[in-house]
Amino acid sequence: MRRLVLLRHAEAASAPLGNFSVDADMNRPLTPAGQEAAQRCGHWLAAHGIVPDTILCSPAVRTRQTLAGVVAALACPLPTPEYCADIYDATPEALLAQIQRVPDSAHTVLMVGHNPGISLLAHQLDMQASALDQGFAPASVAVFEMYGSETLPDITHWQMCDAQSMHLHTFARP
Give the ranges where the chain is alpha helix by DSSP (H). Answer: 22-26, 32-47, 61-74, 92-100, 117-125
CATH dotted code for 3-172: 3.40.50.1240
Along the 174 residues of the chain, how does pLDDT read in single tens digits? Answer: 899 999 999 999 998 888 889 999 999 999 999 999 999 999 999 999 999 999 999 999 999 999 999 999 998 999 999 999 999 999 999 999 999 999 999 999 999 999 999 999 999 999 888 899 888 999 999 999 998 777 766 677 899 898 889 999 999 999
Strand, coil or helix: 158? helix
Domain map (residue ranges) of the chain:
3-172
Q: State the DSSP code for 17.
A: T
* Single pTM value for the model: 0.95
| 1 Cβ contact partners less than 8 Å away, ≥ 6 residues apart | 107, 145, 146, 149, 150, 153
